[in-house]
Amino acid sequence: MYKIAVAGTGYVGLVAGVCFAEVGHKVICVDIDEKKVDLMKSGIVPFYEPGLEDLMIKNYAAGRIDFTTDYMQAYREADTIFIGVGTPEREDGSANLSYIANVARQIAESIIKDCLIVVKSTVPVGTNDKVEQFIKDFLVNDVRVEVASNPEFLAQGSAVNDTLNAERIIIGTESNWAEQVLKSIYKPYNIPIISVSRRSAEMIKYASNNFLALKISFINDIANLCELVNADIQEVTLGMSFDSRIGNKFLNAGIGYGGSCFPKDTKALDYLAKQFGYELKTVKATMDVNKEQQTKLFKKASQRLITFNNIKVAILGLTFKPGTDDLRESASLVNVPLLLEHGANIFAFDPIGAKNFAKIYPEGKNRNGTIAYVENVEQALIGASICFIFTEWDEVKEIPPEKFKKLMQTPIVYDGRNIYKIDNMSEVGVEYHSIGRNKSN
């Protein structure tokens, strides 16, 4: 059993903390946000993540996890401190490391015994060398510190399962001591541990996310060509996926990737390469394709309708993917302002994300249009002239095709997630447009 402190209680930090507690470690989670800490102490996870709340409550009741804003107390007692604070992108595409630096400073001021610091946040290669030096520079007490890299691979929406049943754990260390501590912390997980150098670990994270983003952009590129040559992307990916060298994951054509990781991690790797005078051409292509893909349906629909002015537009799904309330870099955040600019009257449905979206686009008049949030898909569709599907929530996937026909003023559907069979939509009289498929694109 280790005494573990975790800095940052977002998707990464809180899930890591709760899972460490679940396997028997004693965990203290630190956040600077008092409201978040109060919520967690009263048994509420401050964001939507399936399965996390029950596990958090269970471990809190068992006394294995606690929450605090008192970093000094938390860090001075810890054997190991995991850092899971944000590394958002700066305007120039580089990673903003100021949150990491703040935690590093707080750690340096607090610790009174030898301590392993483990960075879970995604940071550019070489950052952890600097974090270690920075902590040493500001240390108040004469103790041994070392920084290790332990990048996180969970996906929002399945974060708990992804952590407890991960395919691998990457640890990047520069000493036998750090390697052994991390191996021993993760022993109860019974998951293969890949032990590499600190810099390689940092690079594994960026290379993995950039490869996944590349897969998505590649298949979207092929989907766009399928439309032109009258092939069907779903048949194409089916055929490709039987080749085990290719596999069947991340081959769904659509309106591009979003979320808090792929967009920023592609930009940050591109930035890092440029700093060393190297151009990552595949990463640049990944970003370019994704940018165009996000507005693909808007552009198609603009040609079809002539104008959005005073048109009721149904939007189904606002989050960047189902299973999360996270809106960061979602396609809706690109398309909603475009539609409002063009005078649309938007009725948006999202089972979890609408509340967060309304904080950015409050109900009512906005630009030349209006936006309202509705409780169910029916309210969004009724009387609408056009419908955009941005997120494949179950509530959206379960809509029978007849419903579009019955409820909409004109049943025109632009599906950014290729949910429906083309024939099923056309049989009931819905004009259906999707991505890369061979009828009525």
Per CB under 6 A, residues contacting ligand NAD are 7-13, 30-33, 36, 84-87, 99, 102-103, 106, 121-122, 152, 154, 156, 260-261
Q: Which is nearer to ligand NAD, 14 or 344 (CB)?
A: 14
Terminal C-alpha separation, the chain: 57
Is 258 labeled as ligand-binding? yes
Q: How far is the CB of 328 from ligand NAD (least distance, A)?
A: 8
Is 13 labeled as ligand-binding? no
Q: Which is nearer to ligand NAD, 99 or 250 (CB)?
A: 99
Q: How far is the CB of 10 from ligand NAD (least distance, A)?
A: 2
Q: Which is nearer to ligand NAD, 200 or 370 (CB)?
A: 200
Phi and psi of 263, rounded to 5°? Answer: -60, -45
Residue whose beta carbon is closest to ligand NAD: 10
Is 405 labeled as ligand-binding? no
Q: How far is the CB of 43 from ligand NAD (least distance, A)?
A: 17
Nearest to 87 by CA among 53, 49, 128: 128
Catalytically annotated residue among 19, 29, 115, 261: 261
Rg (CA), the chain: 24
**CB-based contacts of 366: which residues, under 8 Å, 6+ apart?**
340
Is 47 labeled as ligand-binding? no
Q: How far is the CB of 374 from ligand NAD (least distance, A)?
A: 27
Query: What is the rounded CA–CA span in Å between residue 386 and residue 390?
Result: 13
Is 58 labeled as ligand-binding? no
Token representation of residue 300: 């198609």
Q: Which is nearer to ligand NAD, 33 or 288 (CB)?
A: 33
Q: Which is nearer to ligand NAD, 106 or 290 (CB)?
A: 106
Q: Which is nearer to ligand NAD, 107 or 348 (CB)?
A: 107
Q: What's the gap between Cα 417 and its chain centre? A: 17
Cα separation values, 345 from 279, 361, 367, 388, 412, Å: 43, 13, 11, 13, 16
Q: How far is the CB of 9 from ligand NAD (least distance, A)?
A: 5
Is 254 labeled as ligand-binding? yes
Is 253 labeled as ligand-binding? yes
Cα separation values, 330 from 10, 55, 247, Å: 18, 28, 26
Confirm whether 261 is a catalytic residue: yes
Is 291 labeled as ligand-binding? no
Q: How far is the CB of 68 from ligand NAD (least distance, A)?
A: 10
- Residues designated catalytic: 261
Q: Which residues are annotated as a binding site for substrate?
A: 205, 250-254, 258, 321
Q: Which residues are annotated as a binding site for NAD(+)?
A: 31, 36, 87, 122, 264, 328
